[in-house]
Structure 1
Amino acid sequence: MEETEWNDMVENYPRNTQMVKFLTLIDLRENGKRFKDLAKGLSEMKITTHTLCMMRRRKQVISSIPDDILDSVPTDEILDNISTQIGKMVFQLGIELGLSIADLENIDKCNCDLTAQSKEVLFTWRRDRLVRPTIRVLEQALVNSRKGARCLEEVVNNVDPKTLRAVETVTDRIRDNADRMIQNIQISQILDHMMTHLVISVDDRCEIEHYPRQDDQNKALLDIVIKRREPAYSVFVDGLRNYGYEDIANDLKCDTQDISPITALVSAENEGLSDWNVPLYKVRLQKNYLKIITDIQHDSIVDHLITSDVVSVDDGKKIESGKTPQEKNRNLMNILLHKDERGFNEFLKALRKDSIYADLADQIEKTEVTRTDMANLHKCLK
């Protein structure tokens, strides 16, 4: 290696000696150097060559993890949990998983935190489907990088293989149809449907719609559906079917009953779930999302909310910025779902001022909140 190349590496990675060592070894390999050349250099520096012996001996894992789990693709949760335990071995693991040097350098530059780097390495590996990214492959890579497999064994100890298979099915269905959905669907009404069924939050919707381009919005929605799994997936498929994309819905349809357990429909108040960080009034409001944005004329309601100091004049302008009555009502709901319970109560008062909306106010106030409702919305807020 030329001295200038060495100086460039040291300058580019002043706080990452692991990366400097790693790139040095890559340079040796690319310049045709062999183990004996490396051994000679280590000996001249009075550094033991025992590590080279370890590198040449690849240890085949004798796993305690069941085969049906080993042959599955790891979920986000598994990768998230593993990423906190990799530490300084992150780039060795990346090489064992087959990431390119460019990928690893980019990950190093974009993330200073070791856990963030580990997570990016793992998720980059899983996205590359040239080799099926199974838990078996990950386990072998952990052993080869001298991290060991114990951390993985602990993470997957209580994982249900049926859940892993179902998640993989959902992910594959979405990936197989991703281009069609990204390019061809309009998601505004689908988001209304998903809001009403509590599988996305108002913040999710804002995050999706902050992208100016439709294809980027669609990508963001698909990412959420993949991450949330059930019931988000089934609600999304139903939304496609309801709003003109039946052919795509049919291609996505699959048996997802094993993805997550169905929670009994028990009153949240009776189960003590009102202590969760999802206020009941917000659940009631969001469960009526579609009816509210479809049925109400917002003008007098907004006037009441401004008079009651629930929303500001600037909020009123944001509401009015919508191009259609439904868009204006969506803006109103976006604001209300960020307000406290007084805002909810004043909204009901505003509805009851007009006899046309009195029944709607009663319906919202008496909306049953189940254990499942709380669990679904709580999942969105994690």
Structure 2
Amino acid sequence: MLTGRLSALMFMQFFVWGAWTVTLGLVMQTVGIGALIGNAFSVGPIASIAGSFLLGMAAARYFSPKTLMVVLHLVGGAILFVLPSLITPERGATFVWLLFAYMMLYMPTVGLANTIALKSFGERVDRFPFVRAFGTLGWIAAGLIIGWAGLSASPQIFTVAAVVSVALGLYSLTLPSVEADAPRDESIIRQVLCTEAFGLMRQRSFLIFIVCATLISIPLAMYYAYASPYVGAAGISNVGGTLAIGQMSELAFMFSMPLLYRRFGVKPLLLVGMAAWALRYALFAIGDGGSGLWAIYVGVALHGICYDFFFVAGAIYVGTIATPKGVNAQAQGMLTLFTYGVGMLVGSQIGALLYAQMPEAATIADWQAMWWYPAIAAALIAILFQLTFRDDSRTETQP
């Protein structure tokens, strides 16, 4: 019963996000505000830093996770209902700012949902991967519904997200009541700044990992921002459903990560993940709406390797290094800060500069030329990682 309730929580949590973020770039290009795509996809990284580390950590000291989930999703749902009316050339800037306000509310709920699930399970944390998988299913379902309903290029993607956000806010009233985090001895400023976790970077291997993780997140941002208008330009009508193939691939690889990590260690997995990003972008650079259509589908399907082999394996590696020192939560937060925060923020802005160089009526050839930049960047980062990283986690974590 508990597993079912928490699975529903994860399903709706990621349905809300997946309903709009997958095809937002296509929507903005369709309505004539494509120049603001980079800014729109920059608000998420900024919110992942400010919202998760400030609002999430500070508020969690004074309010229960359940209460925060109710308030944040209800207020966020109200904002989502307003956003479709602002996706116009005249109100584009206002749209970006209100989207930023929404993401400041949404990003903390990702960690809160994890907290509720983990604390509810107690010692049975082995059930968490099964429950978290329903988050990926929610993302997939959102993409399929948006695609099948013909809304991939419509501002009404936010209306679909709004309905589920309000439903999740009301559903959160029924979630298990878990206690707020007990105040730690260190100040909240030290917690927010992850001071103990930053000390881990005195280890050369961990420092190289963080640097490469940040760098690979720069080309990663271009996929989230520009994959949907690219797929649309290739003549694929069901953009949401097509991009959902990537999440299906992610789900297939997710449960294999702990086994593969024990079998091969961290370096081969991280290297394969980086190489997969380079291959994906190279496939996008040769894919078109004709004989090269297969390259687009294969590139999207590589998402499971791209994401799981790097980000999931990377999270396991961070836990291996940080847990013996008692700073796992801070270290995971720091990884999020550098990847989804710094890396994707820089990537979104670089992507905006590249997009600005394309003609207003961009052809598939223009898109192909743009994808070579992240393909080459990802390949160079993979080579840098191969030459400099040494997995000495087993010796570094000895007591």
TM-score (norm 2): 0.24
Which structure has more helix as a fraction of its residues? Answer: 2
Larger radius of gyration: 1
